[in-house]
């Protein structure tokens, strides 16, 4: 595949093409405090739904990222895990959102959601963008076949749990509309790390999807979010929060959980700087008008 069609590169280039105007008059020190599903956090910058990080055990990457996120006061997302791994992560005390694959065996989806509810997780989600393999046939994950969800099936899944149900992998107004019709309580705008070439950058569609969702259904941004400035751009354009993935894996490799904590804290401070320089004094006062597409 050529670099021209790499969706991660397209997304990175789009993010970097977004410029900000400054607004100093009547600005103030910003508050990055973030509330999600009734819980308060230090910032809207969260871990991405990573999976298959390491084997269970003391010092594992998944556990280290959980501990770093907890120390930073951030939400952790996680996916494609056995029950024991989810229990281990929940046991760290981090506020956890589990993302579940669209298993063709729908009973497995319900079983995982029931398990998440028993653990008291913050929310659960469904990877709606993971039903197909590269040849367009059914994908296979951990020996389980995947299958695309129908709106009716998603509606029943939403109704099956008291936990907020999120759809991850929304990259069209169509999927956003079907998700909302099913009653979801959150959506992640994402192309799932270049699962399809030439995908639209999530922030390109984000404003329209956020407008469609309204104030009651938070929309999150994923893919190539790496810094607090990236987070600022996404949140100004309508995201409730953002997810950082691979940079946290590198941060863990460098300095274990302290590296994750340091990275998330630095990103929060970068977000605060961008807010201060644009007059966005808290997350309820973010203004999309400060974002401009580069004419150069």
**For the residues 130-142, what does the mean pLDDT come to?**
94
Q: Which two tokens stand for residue 161?
A: 């749990």
Q: Give yes or no for a contact between 32 and 268, defined as CB atoms under 8 angstroms apart.
A: yes
- Per-residue confidence (pLDDT) for residue 59, from 0 to 100: 52
| Helix, strand and coil in the chain, % to nearest 5 | 45, 20, 40
CATH of domain 3-293: 3.20.20.70
Q: What pLDDT digit, counting tens, does each position of 100-115 carry?
A: 999 999 999 999 999 9
Q: Which long-range contacts (CB under 8 A, 24 or more apart) does 281-287 make?
A: 281/27, 281/28, 281/29, 281/30, 281/31, 282/30, 282/31, 282/32, 282/33, 283/31, 283/32, 283/33, 283/34, 283/44, 283/235, 286/235, 286/236, 287/236
The 3 state secondary structure assigned to 204-259 is HHHHHHHHHHCCCCCEEECCCCCCHHHHHHHHHCCCCEEEECHHHHHHHHHHHHHH
> Count of H helices and E strands in the chain?
9, 14
Q: DSSP 3-state assignment of 151?
A: helix
- Per-residue confidence (pLDDT) for residue 196, from 0 to 100: 93
- Per-residue confidence (pLDDT) for residue 57, from 0 to 100: 44
Torsion of CA 83, 95, 250, 186, to 10 degrees: 90
Q: Which two tokens stand for residue 76?
A: 């952790």
Among 279, 291, 140, 143, smallest CA distance to 221 is for: 291
Is the model's pLDDT at 138 over the cut of 70?
yes
Residue with tokens 């997302």: 77
Q: What pLDDT digit, counting tens, does each position of 60-103 carry?
A: 899 999 999 999 999 999 998 999 999 999 999 999 999 999 99
Q: What pLDDT digit, counting tens, does each position of 162-207 carry?
A: 999 999 999 999 999 999 999 999 999 999 999 999 999 999 999 9
- Per-residue confidence (pLDDT) for residue 56, from 0 to 100: 38
Q: Give yes or no for a contact between 60 and 84, defined as CB atoms under 8 angstroms apart.
A: no
Q: What pLDDT digit, counting tens, does each position of 199-258 carry?
A: 999 999 999 999 999 999 999 999 999 999 999 999 999 999 999 999 999 999 999 999
Rounded to two decimals, the pTM is: 0.96
Instruction: Give the mean pLDDT of the chain.
Output: 95
- Per-residue confidence (pLDDT) for residue 54, from 0 to 100: 61
Q: By CB neighbour count within 10 A (0-12 exposed, 13-18 middle, 19+ buried), where does 220 fall?
A: buried
- Per-residue confidence (pLDDT) for residue 58, from 0 to 100: 46
Q: Give yes or no for a contact between 100 and 126, defined as CB atoms under 8 angstroms apart.
A: yes
Q: Confidence class of residue 288 from pLDDT cuts 50, 70 and 90?
A: very high
Catalytic residues: 192
- List, in sequence order, every residue forming a beta bridge with 166; answer none if it has no partner: 125, 186
Region label for 8, one of left (φ > 0), alpha (ψ between -120 and 50) or beta (otherwise):
alpha
For 35, other C-beta atoms within 10 Å of its C-beta total 11
Among 240, 199, 207, smallest CA distance to 223 is for: 199
**For the residues 145-150, what does the mean pLDDT come to?**
98
């Amino acid at each position: 595949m050529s670099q021209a069609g790499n969706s991660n590169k397209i997304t990175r280039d789009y993010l970097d093409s977004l410029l900000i105007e400054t607004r100093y008059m009547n600005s103030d020190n910003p508050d990055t405090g973030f509330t999600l599903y009734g819980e308060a956090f230090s910032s809207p910058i969260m871990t991405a739904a990573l999976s298959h990080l390491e084997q269970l055990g003391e010092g594992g990457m998944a556990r280290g990222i959980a501990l770093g996120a907890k120390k930073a006061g951030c939400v952790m997302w996680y996916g494609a895990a056995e029950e024991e791994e989810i229990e281990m992560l929940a046991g760290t005390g981090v506020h956890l959102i589990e993302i579940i694959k669209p298993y063709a065996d729908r009973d497995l989806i319900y079983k995982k959601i029931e398990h998440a509810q028993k653990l008291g997780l913050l929310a659960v989600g469904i990877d709606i963008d993971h039903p197909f393999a590269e040849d367009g046939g059914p994908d296979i994950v951990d020996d389980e076949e995947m299958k695309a969800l129908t709106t009716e099936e998603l509606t029943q899944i939403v109704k099956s749990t008291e936990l907020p149900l999120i759809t991850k992998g929304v990259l069209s107004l169509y999927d956003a509309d079907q998700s909302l019709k099913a009653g979801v309580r959150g959506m992640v705008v994402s192309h799932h790390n270049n699962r399809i070439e030439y995908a639209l950058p999530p922030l390109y569609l984000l404003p329209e999807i956020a407008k469609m969702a309204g104030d009651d259904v938070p929309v999150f941004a994923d893919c190539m979010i790496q810094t607090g400035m990236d987070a600022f751009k996404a949140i100004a354009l309508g995201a409730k929060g953002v997810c950082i993935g691979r940079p946290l894996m590198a941060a863990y490799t460098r300095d274990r959980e302290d590296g994750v904590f340091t990275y998330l804290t630095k990103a929060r401070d970068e977000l605060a700087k961008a807010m201060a320089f644009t007059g966005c004094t808290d997350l309820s006062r973010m203004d999309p008008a400060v974002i401009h597409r580069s004419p150069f």
